[in-house]
Structure 1
Amino acid sequence: MEIFKWLNDQLLRMDWLASLVRLLVEDIFGLDMASRIGGSLHFFIYDVIKIFILLSVLIFGLSWIQSYFPPERTRRILGRMRGFRANLAGALLGTVTPFCSCSSIPLFIGFTSSGLPLAVTFSFLISSPLVDLASMILLASIFNWSIALAYVVVGIVLAVIGGTLIGKVGMEQYVEAFVTQQKVLDLPQEQLTLRDRLTYAREQVGEIIRKVWLYILIGVGIGAAIHNWIPAGLIEKLIGQDNWWSVPLATLVAAPMYADIFGTLPIAEALVSKGVGLGTVLAFMMSVTALSLPSLIMLKQVVKAPLLALFVTVVLMGIMLIGYLFNAFAYLFI
């Protein structure tokens, strides 16, 4: 256990990096870590470097694994499954695709056009931006492994149940015609060499970092401001865990935003440190990633209003329920 704790502290939490940044702030910049400016600067530099290091390593590894499962091969695997097993597979597929909600929609179109049931494709669409292995590792680096694993489990459960409910309603007629009429090419899988796979993984790191770097900087900046400048009493009064409205307020406020989980993690870290309930914070994170306004605008071009409204309602209700449950049982994880 001591070895595991040391590895967790040094590789995930990067205590060595926190110490180096402390030296930079105190010895080079001459700032007191107890001051607001010194504390904010340490929070910003440390979190930005840590997130980019972990993100790069994790995306590289996940992309290398993904190279063995191109869309056509994935479609064929999912096409052989039915019922709960298919929904679970669709949700699990989302956990190994490090995409934001907007990037998930093209794959959603491809899966739907190939004839996969709506239940499966919506399970994927809910899960993909919400939970992935990279977010689990980053959550563990900021909080702990029990919270990280619980977050992934409830995200997968939400994706499976949400996809199942949408599939049961039978709203296939509300998918735009161009999606179902789109031709799917069934090309043989290329035999990629190790070098090809490594090149693909490296390119994926660059592509995803280019997409998310600004949101990470903004998220860390907001987190640093919350952590060091906004009084804890004010935050607790607005969205403290004793307020029944904190979960729906956090969920509804977060929904129109556009970010990914990597940009929301520093905000979540700061909010928890100020006394906001764990469930409220997780509901905020889930809502930002699963229901961002740009992704809903894109999805509106693919599905008609009744199906879009059902999707948003199911996900919103599921996120709020998860938030209340985590607030009630937070003592099990902290």
Structure 2
Amino acid sequence: MFDWVQNSSDWLVYDVFNLSKGQHLTEALNFFIYDTAKILILLFIVIFFMGIVNSYFPIDKVKNYLSRHKLYGLEYLVASLFGVVTPFCSCSSVPLFIGFVRGGIPLGVTFSFLITSPLVNEVAIGLFVGLFGIKTTLIYVISGVLLGTISGVILQKLKLESFLTPWVKEILATAQKDQDAFIAEKQTLKQRLPIIWNEVLKILKGIIPYVLVGISIGGLMHGYIPEGFFEKYMDKDNLFAVPIATILAVPMYSNASGILPVVQVLVAKGIPLGTAIAFMMGVVGLSLPEAMLLKKVMSLKLIAIFFGLVTLCIIISGYLFNILL
């Protein structure tokens, strides 16, 4: 889907800037240009699409339905499954997080999507089957969905809405007013577009600085941290290898398909599969760039709670993987 973006980035870095392949600065710059273009395109498409959806979305009805009907966790499972079919990295999932919250979806349900979306997608599943077989793939997919579902339920029980930033709360208030106007006037899509467009620009203006900072950090990590740096900390004889692998993964930044070849190398070098997958989940599901983006929509306390819970779930998953596989 984004091959043309990668080709354009390669052309700019290697041909126009005339930088040599393999150098730290070159790889970091290439990563920054490619990911910036890709995520900005995704941001625009997702926010604009969610703006159209939200203009028709019955916020009050959804809120009332979810508050009056017990779905016994089904809504969290559905959000996690939706995350599986949306091929977004952790950073590009944030606009959908905003769209979900604006649409009146409970925060815990939204977290279920935010957790699962970068971890499990069709590209990662295809690579997993090819690299590790169907059994391992099924266990990984099921664990990823359960991770999102269970974490969402726990986070919802903690009632963390008060820890959203004033910026998000203002957007929520504006979303309700805009929809009230849409409903009252029964506007056509053409009539709604100017309001939707203004909302897109408002959200982009607020989030782009965080995107650029986050991708910059990711680019530096991508270009300057060597793969072999982590291997000595994840030896199979180390009882604490799983938590160490998960924590060491946080500074890194990649999507599931990008980190899977690294996981294959780690496993080939004798690192237990569960430990390697915990490392992968940490890279994909938890990262400093994601934290930078989430800072726009969450307080530091909420980010700490979110990262802490997901880290704990990943560590438990890693140990279970080592037992099952």
Cα distance in 2 for residues equivalent to 1:294 and 1:83: 34
Aligned counterparts, 1:66-215, within 5 A: 72=54, 79=62, 82-182=71-171, 183-184=174-175
Task: Give the 3 Å change call, closer, same or farther, for CA 153–71 of structure 1 in structure 2.
Answer: farther
| Partner Cα separation in structure 2 for residue 71 and residue 262 of structure 1 | 29
Please give the TM-score of this superposition, normalised by the length of structure 2: 0.63
2:270 corresponds to 1:281: no
Name 2:307's counterpart in structure 1: 312
Identical residues among aligned pairs (%) = 39
Partners of 2:151 and 2:309 within 8 A in 1: yes
Distance 1:311 1:268 in 2: 25
How far apart, CA to CA, are the structure 1 residues paired with 2:271 and 2:239? 12
Q: Which residue of 2 aligns with 1:296?
A: 291
CA RMSD of aligned residues (A): 3.5
Looking at structure 1, the residues matched to 94 and 257 of structure 2 have their Cα atoms a distance apart, in angstroms, of 19
Q: Which stretches of structure 1, 4 residues or longer, exceed 3 Å deviation after superposition?
A: 70-83, 183-190
Distance 1:189 1:326, change over 3 A: farther
CA distance in 1, matches of 2:314, 2:128: 18
Q: C-alpha displacement at 1:72, in angstroms?
A: 4.5
Q: Decide which of 250, 254, 257 is 1:259's aligned counterpart.
A: 254
Shift of 1:274: 1.0
- Partner Cα distance (1:279, 1:240) in 2: 12
1:105-154 CA-partner distances (Å, limit 9, x unpaired) = 01101111222111100001101111112211111111111111111110
Residue 178 of structure 1 deviates from its aligned partner by: 2.6
Normalising by structure 1, we get a TM-score of: 0.62
Q: Secondary structure at the match of 1:101?
A: coil
- Which structure 1 residue ranges, 5 or more long, are not aligned? 1-62, 191-211
| Secondary structure, aligned partner of 2:92 | helix
State the secondary structure of the residue aligned to 1:265. helix
Does residue 1:270 correspond to 2:285, yes or no? no
Structure 2, unpaired ranges of 5+ = 1-44, 183-187, 191-214
Kindly provide the CA deviation profile for residues 15-53 of structure 1, in whole angstroms up to 9, marking residues without a partner as x. Answer: xxxxxxxxxxxxxxxxxxxxxxxxxxxxxxxxxxxxxxx
Q: Distance in 1 between matches of 2:55 and 2:139?
A: 30
Q: Is the 8 A contact 2:115 2:285 kept in 1?
A: yes
Which gives a bigger RCO, structure 1 or 2 (Cα 8 Å, sep 6+)?
A: 2
Tell me, in whole angstroms, the C-alpha distance in 2 between the residues paired with 1:146 and 1:74: 42
Shift of 1:89: 1.0
For the structure 1 residues 181 and 258, does the alpha-carbon distance in structure 2 shift closer, same or farther, using more than 3 Å as the test? same
CA distance in 2, matches of 1:189, 1:270: 51
Rate the CA distance shift 1:107–1:245 in 2: closer, same or farther, 3 A.
same
